């Protein structure tokens, strides 16, 4: 009888250890699947990986407050998109087949109207667009209808920052929207770093990025970061 009881106890203990090991292994696997910005770093609790490009990077705790987190997400997204456009605008003039001023000299270029009125027109249009975006952040989906032409971007879309409709005429979002969001924010972050480098390079050398690059390739010993 004692042997039978002992055998049952040992079997139960072995099963318990097996289950606990499996649970530990399962929890380890789940934790390992979370990509973080630095190996071995634990992501903060307010960054749970649900956002596109969330790798747990918030050393200053700017997104701890939920309302501030919403604002920071949209701020990064807009800065990323403007940075991608900006880098293209910095490189584009050097690739154009016609004579165009570099981005460093663009402020001196004579447009079809004086710079002062164009500046105020741009500020008015940007203010209108930004106010609508801010209202959409407060009430997602409220700005889907165009106020001028009555065009509905997407009657059911409440995903702030991703309007779809007119902004997705090729229908890419119908395939894998989550993957596209991740690619966009990754490219946008790279563009923000790149545009900062272009600013420093322009202030240091006084020429456009590709002009600087071709000069370096032609004579890397004389044209480099140390000269």
Confirm or deny that 76 is annotated as ligand binding: yes
Tell me the C-alpha distance between 223 and 212, whole Å.
Answer: 8
| Dihedral over Cα of 145, 150, 154, 155: its sign | positive
Tell me the C-alpha distance between 53 and 49, whole Å.
Answer: 8
Confirm or deny that 81 is annotated as ligand binding: yes
The β-bridge partners of 70 are none
Please count the other Cβ atoms lying within 10 Å of the Cβ belonging to residue 87.
21
Confirm or deny that 181 is annotated as ligand binding: no
Confirm or deny that 21 is annotated as ligand binding: no
Tell me the C-alpha distance between 93 and 109, whole Å.
Answer: 13
The DSSP code for 167 is G
Q: Is the distance from CB of 90 to CB of 198 less than 8 angstroms?
A: yes
Confirm or deny that 208 is annotated as ligand binding: no
Confirm or deny that 46 is annotated as ligand binding: no
For residue 204, report the phi and psi dihedrals to the nearest 5 degrees: -85, -45
The DSSP code for 169 is T
Confirm or deny that 183 is annotated as ligand binding: yes
- Binding-site residues, please? 63, 76, 79, 81, 183-184, 187, 189, 201, 216
Residue ranges at the known binding site for chlorophyll b: 81
Binding positions for chlorophyll a are 63, 76, 79, 183-184, 187, 189, 201, 216
């Amino acid at each position: 009888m004692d042997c039978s009881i002992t055998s049952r106890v040992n079997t139960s203990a072995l099963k318990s250890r097996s289950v606990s090991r499996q649970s530990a292994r399962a929890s380890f696997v789940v934790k390992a699947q979370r990509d973080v910005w630095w190996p071995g770093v634990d992501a903060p609790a307010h960054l749970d990986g649900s956002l596109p490009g969330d790798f747990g990077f918030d050393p200053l705790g700017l997104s701890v407050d939920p309302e501030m987190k919403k604002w920071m997400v949209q701020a990064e997204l807009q800065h990323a998109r403007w940075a991608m456009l900006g880098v293209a605008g910095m490189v584009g003039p050097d690739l154009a087949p016609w004579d165009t001023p570099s981005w460093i000299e663009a402020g001196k270029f004579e447009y079809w109207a004086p710079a002062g009125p164009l500046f105020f027109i741009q500020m008015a249009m940007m203010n209108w667009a930004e106010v609508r975006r801010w209202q959409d952040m407060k009430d997602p989906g409220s700005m889907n209808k165009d106020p001028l032409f009555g065009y509905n971007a997407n009657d059911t879309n409440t995903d702030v920052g991703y309007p779809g409709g007119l902004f997705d005429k090729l229908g890419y979002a119908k395939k894998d929207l989550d993957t596209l969001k991740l690619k966009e924010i990754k490219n946008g972050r790279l563009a923000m770093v790149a545009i900062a480098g272009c600013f420093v390079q322009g202030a240091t050398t006084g020429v456009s990025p590709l002009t600087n690059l071709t000069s370096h390739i032609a004579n890397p010993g004389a044209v480099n970061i140390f000269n």
